[in-house]
Amino acid sequence: MTIDYSTEGKVIFRMNDYVENLLAEVRDEAVMNGTSPDPANDDLFTIDDDKLGLGTEDKECFHTMVAKLLFLSKRARPDIQQAVAFLTTRVSKATEEDYGKLARVIRYLRGAPTLPLTLECDNTQIVKWWIDASFGVHPDLKSHTGATMSLGKGSVYSSSVRQKLNTRSSTEAEVVAVDDMMPITLWTRQFLHGQGYTSMNTELYQDNKSAMLLEQNAQASSGKQTRHINLCYFFITDRVKSGEIAITHCPTDEMTADFFTKPLNGKKFIKFRAMILNLQDDDLDWCSSSQECVGS
């Protein structure tokens, strides 16, 4: 990893050598050759257990490549994190279908191997969290939580994970998503206080107004469709009342965490990737010159 502090007010993370070495280790050129405009298609979460399982060598290759992609996605390339999050759940039972999904991530990296992650901190003194959920997208009908945090520009932390329980509505899935992210949200606030930033505020953005009412008012905003929700999921209500966290509505089209809840393609993928990686003018100039990169 290369960490570049040469530009005042910015820190740039690159893992170009790592990506180059990873691509050089690709053993199945027939499947993984070429480029792709994005790391996942709409069928990412689809699982067909009738598909042929991988042989011993392909299974070992799948496991190794997914582990290396996970290392990359958690450090400098959050743009592949959502696809990798799914692939990690298939390591022990990978099929040819899963192998094809891995191949798409590899092709995406080949088309955009040098994109950096650039972080900047603004003067708002606000820790911004975008938290979202995709309802019932997994084969077992569990939902998927996506989240990202920024101190100005660029994603300092991001998460893409399947929820551990089944929910009855998109509103409930959103409440569970916020609960999923409460430990790291509060830890981040406490960590920054420990560094002396005592005036920091935590802003939590969501696009579901019903979920926001439940989180702010708990049972006071609960009706017959939500009265079954366990009280533990209203832990956030106390944090809102204490002023530690403020919940703000964010239109769905601007919900950055959507990038980590479902496979995006085309212009929406490009838009949110630019926000998460905080792509600079030079990066965007390079991107616009590549047909694969812009998804045309």
Which residues in 151-254 belong to E strands, given as ranges?
152-153, 157-162, 201-206, 245-249
- Portion of the chain with pLDDT greater than 90, in percent: 66
DSSP codes of every residue in 128-155: EEEEEEETT-STT---EEEEEEESEES-
Q: Of 65, 62, 64, 46, nearest to 54 (Cα)?
A: 62
pLDDT tens profile 5-56: 999 989 999 999 999 999 999 877 778 889 999 999 999 999 987 888 888 8
Question: Which residues on neighbouring strands pair with residue 165, listed in sequence order?
Answer: none
Task: Give the model's pLDDT for residue 270.
Answer: 95
**Spelled out in words, what is the top-level CATH class assigned to the domain 121-257?**
alpha beta
Neighbours of 60 (CB within 10 A): 11
Q: Of 185, 148, 140, 146, nearest to 167 (Cα)?
A: 140
Domain ranges of the chain: 2-116+279-294, 121-257
Put simply, whether the predicted model's pTM sits higher than 0.95 gets the answer: no
Confidence of residue 294 (pLDDT cuts 50, 70, 90): very low
